Chain A
Amino acid sequence: MTATAHTAAHSHPPVSVQPEEESRRDFLILATGAVSAVGVAGAAWPFIQSWSPSADVLSQATTEVDVSALGKGQMITVPWQGKPVFILHRTDDQIASARKGDAEKLPDPAMDKDRAQKPEYLVLLAICTHLGCVPQPIGSGNFGGFLCPCHGSHYDTSGRIRQGPAPKNLEVPHYVFKDEKILVIGKAVG
């Protein structure tokens, strides 16, 4: 008896769901889900963006360097946006060697004249295109150029990849000669 009473107390009259009602409910569930997803994405955006470079980091866009004191064959490393940049005053041999490389079969083909605005100055972002180590100074690698010590990538006197795991040539940053002496690396932003 108690069992029957129990069942009776909890049984509901059968609810007949009309097909329209069902699709209405589906729509409401979908719409709620979609709005929630957009809401969560929107709320996440400021958190994600907070990881991107901040204004003070972006403001370090350019570096000016006086290259007049740099003798033939000398190289300096200057910081630009926290990254090292090699400025090499190339010797005639180094230029000749780079020009000779133009004709070789290169992993990442590029002409030396497109990589150096003035043939005697080679400006390179000193970050190995493999995994971001700083290559060693000029003369350290095969082909008379730069050797990345981390995984053995060899770059030539034009900063082109010639041997090893790096996929691309050393990047040439945007630069201009403001005058005969002053080299400006980078572009002002904002």
Chain B
Amino acid sequence: MVFKSIMEWVDARLPITDLIKSQATEYPTPKNLNYWWNFGSLALFCLIIMLLTGLFLAMHYKPDANLAFDAVEHIMRDVNYGWLLRYLHANGATFFFMTVYIHILRGMYYGSHRAPREILWWIGIIIFFLLMATAFMGYVLPWGQMSYWGAAVITNLMSAIPVIGEELVIWIWGGFAVGDPTLNRFFALHFLLPFVIFGVVIVHLWALHAVHSNNPDGIDIDEHKDAIPFHPYFTVKDLYGVGVFLIVYCAFVFFLPNFFMEPDNYIPANPMQTPAHIVPEWYFLPFYAVLRSIDFLGSYSKLVGVIAMVAAIGILFILPFLDRSPVRSFRYRPLSKQLFWIFVIDCFLLGWVGYNPADATRFNGALPLIVVGRTCTAIYFGYFALLWIITAFDIEKPKPVPKSL
């Protein structure tokens, strides 16, 4: 009774109960959402883990080129449960990207980017860009060899920009090479950006709640017949997903904490020597392979490589308009479905090429990986071109879609 009267007092001033009812508990959700729809809430769960562990790591870390590497070892050896915080955070990045990649691919497969969800999709891509920037800067902070040289290579990408490139890189570095000023500002930005991401995630949810969820059939639904309240049906389902996620995540954190890490990053940063083989974190590998595959344009290779790498993600912005099919979901689009899976395999292949040294070969030199990289890059962009061609010219004949769920 007391609680009820307090809530009445609050609701008269700030309608919280109404918001929770309309946007959470009673929020109409398509009844046929499958497990691929768990990855949005999982991504949010990852963001919260990263914010929490990151905040506590920041209390022990020192963003100084002379102290950073030792500070991380101090966290690992001396700080109570420091090892746990760091392994949760480092592996958290990996699992954050896994959930986000699945979340994006789910959207591509079921046509969640199609009208009227274009802005929702765009906000998602912006989050993805911010996430990559944050992850990149976070990886610099341990100040190991991979941290240092990863930072050197990625910041050098900017120098490909005509006219202002060289000046821009020096400005970003705060010196003539990656150094203490760079580390210091990257730490500040790595602390800030997750909160920016959190803000954009709220806009993402706002955009979602304005147009409501897509569904595996990709059809517009009658919310009286085809929707069920979010609570308890999807709160329970999302919680179940969190449970499964935590089992896999914790398996890595506790039993294979260094599985996704590079041994070279346990060597302190040395500006005078590049490791023999620089590899980015796995989640950047496909894009890294795209960058490297453009090597046949002489002095334009670098600029075009950078453009291709950015375009590999940027092309997602126009995906809602490339796809001209009257049907959203690939469930009812046999040709698009096949292209999609070729695209997914292609992304893994690009990742594998990116993981190998630039001049690696297979079959006793008969197959240089650079050729594989170029082919896969062509297939990557070819997917988007073909998707447009088969839908704009009615080459694909979609199967009949259901009228309701």
Which of B75-83, B242-250, B296-304, B327-335 participates in binding chain A?
B296-304
Contact of B274 among A53, A81, A150 (CB under 8 A): A150
Which of B8-16, B175-183, B211-219 participates in binding chain A?
B175-183
Expressed in whole angstroms, the Cα–Cα distance for A81 and B155 within the complex equals 17
B185 lies within 8 A of A51 (CB): yes
Which chain B residues numbered 146 to 185 have a C-beta less than 8 Å away from chain A?
149, 152-153, 155-157, 159, 170-177, 179, 181, 185
A132 lies within 8 A of B156 (CB): yes
A57 lies within 8 A of B181 (CB): yes
Which chain A residues numbered 33 to 73 have a C-beta less than 8 Å away from chain B?
48, 51-54, 57
Q: Does A26 contact B (CB under 8 A)?
A: no
Which residue of the partner chain B has the closest CB to A133?
B274
Which chain A residues numbered 82 to 117 have a C-beta less than 8 Å away from chain B?
82-84, 107-108
Q: Does B277 contact A (CB under 8 A)?
A: yes
Q: Mark B291-328, 1 if CB is under 8 A from A, else 0.
A: 01011001111100100000000000000000000000
Which of A2-10, A161-169, A175-183 participates in binding chain B?
A161-169
Output the least CB separation between A25 and chain B (Å): 33
Expressed in whole angstroms, the Cα–Cα distance for A54 and B292 within the complex equals 34
Q: Mark A128-166, 1 if CB is under 8 A from B, else 0.
A: 001111111000000000001111100000000000111
B152 partner residues in chain A, CB cutoff 8 A: 131-133
Output the least CB separation between A53 and chain B (Å): 5
B276 lies within 8 A of A149 (CB): yes
Expressed in whole angstroms, the Cα–Cα distance for A107 and B295 within the complex equals 13
Expressed in whole angstroms, the Cα–Cα distance for A130 and B273 within the complex equals 16
B149 lies within 8 A of A133 (CB): yes
* Main SS class of interface, A: loop
Interface size on B, as a range, is 35 or more
A130 lies within 8 A of B170 (CB): no
Q: Mark B349-384, 1 if CB is under 8 A from A, else 0.
A: 000000001110000000000000000000000000
Expressed in whole angstroms, the Cα–Cα distance for A154 and B301 within the complex equals 15
With A57-B181, A152-B359 in contact, do A51 and B272 touch (Cβ < 8 Å)? no
B274 partner residues in chain A, CB cutoff 8 A: 133-135, 148-150
Expressed in whole angstroms, the Cα–Cα distance for A130 and B122 within the complex equals 32
Which residue of the partner chain B has the closest CB to A79?
B272
A107 lies within 8 A of B177 (CB): no
Which residue of the partner chain A has the closest CB to B294?
A165
Which residue of the partner chain B has the closest CB to A52?
B171
Q: Does B116 contact A (CB under 8 A)?
A: no
Output the least CB separation between A80 and chain B (Å): 9
A48 partner residues in chain B, CB cutoff 8 A: 171
Q: Does B278 contact A (CB under 8 A)?
A: yes
Q: Does B199 contact A (CB under 8 A)?
A: no
With A51-B171, A57-B176, A133-B153 in contact, do A79 and B299 touch (Cβ < 8 Å)? no
Listed residue (A57, A82, A150, A152) with the most chain B CB atoms within 10 angstroms of its CB: A150
Which residue of the partner chain B has the closest CB to A186?
B176
B292 partner residues in chain A, CB cutoff 8 A: 151, 165
Output the least CB separation between A188 and chain B (Å): 15
Contact of A82 among B271, B273, B301 (CB under 8 A): B271
Expressed in whole angstroms, the Cα–Cα distance for A99 and B271 within the complex equals 31
Which residue of the partner chain B has the closest CB to A127?
B177
Output the least CB separation between A186 and chain B (Å): 10
With A52-B174, A131-B152 in contact, do A83 and B271 touch (Cβ < 8 Å)? yes
A57 partner residues in chain B, CB cutoff 8 A: 174-176, 179, 181
Contact of B174 among A51, A84, A107 (CB under 8 A): A51
With A82-B176, A83-B176, A83-B271 in contact, do A131 and B153 touch (Cβ < 8 Å)? yes
Which residue of the partner chain A has the closest CB to B159?
A132
A82 lies within 8 A of B172 (CB): no
Which residue of the partner chain A has the closest CB to B288?
A151
A135 partner residues in chain B, CB cutoff 8 A: 274
B272 lies within 8 A of A150 (CB): no
Expressed in whole angstroms, the Cα–Cα distance for A133 and B152 within the complex equals 7
A81 lies within 8 A of B177 (CB): yes
A133 lies within 8 A of B181 (CB): no
A164 partner residues in chain B, CB cutoff 8 A: 295, 358
Output the least CB separation between A56 and chain B (Å): 10
Expressed in whole angstroms, the Cα–Cα distance for A79 and B273 within the complex equals 11
B302 partner residues in chain A, CB cutoff 8 A: 130-131, 165-167
Expressed in whole angstroms, the Cα–Cα distance for A57 and B171 within the complex equals 12
Output the least CB separation between B8 and chain A (Å): 30
A77 lies within 8 A of B272 (CB): yes
Expressed in whole angstroms, the Cα–Cα distance for A152 and B295 within the complex equals 10
B358 partner residues in chain A, CB cutoff 8 A: 150-152, 164-165
B305 partner residues in chain A, CB cutoff 8 A: 165
Expressed in whole angstroms, the Cα–Cα distance for A167 and B156 within the complex equals 13
Listed residue (A108, A149, A168) with the most chain B CB atoms within 10 angstroms of its CB: A149
**Can you list 13 A-B pairs, Cβ within 8 angstroms, ordered by A?**
A53-B181, A77-B272, A81-B176, A84-B271, A84-B273, A127-B177, A149-B275, A149-B277, A150-B149, A150-B153, A150-B278, A152-B359, A164-B358
User: What 3 A-B pairs are tightest by C-beta distance, nearest first?
Assistant: A132-B156, A167-B299, A152-B358
5 further A-B contacts with Cβ under 8 Å, apart from A84-B273, A167-B299, A167-B301, are: A53-B170, A57-B176, A81-B177, A82-B175, A83-B271
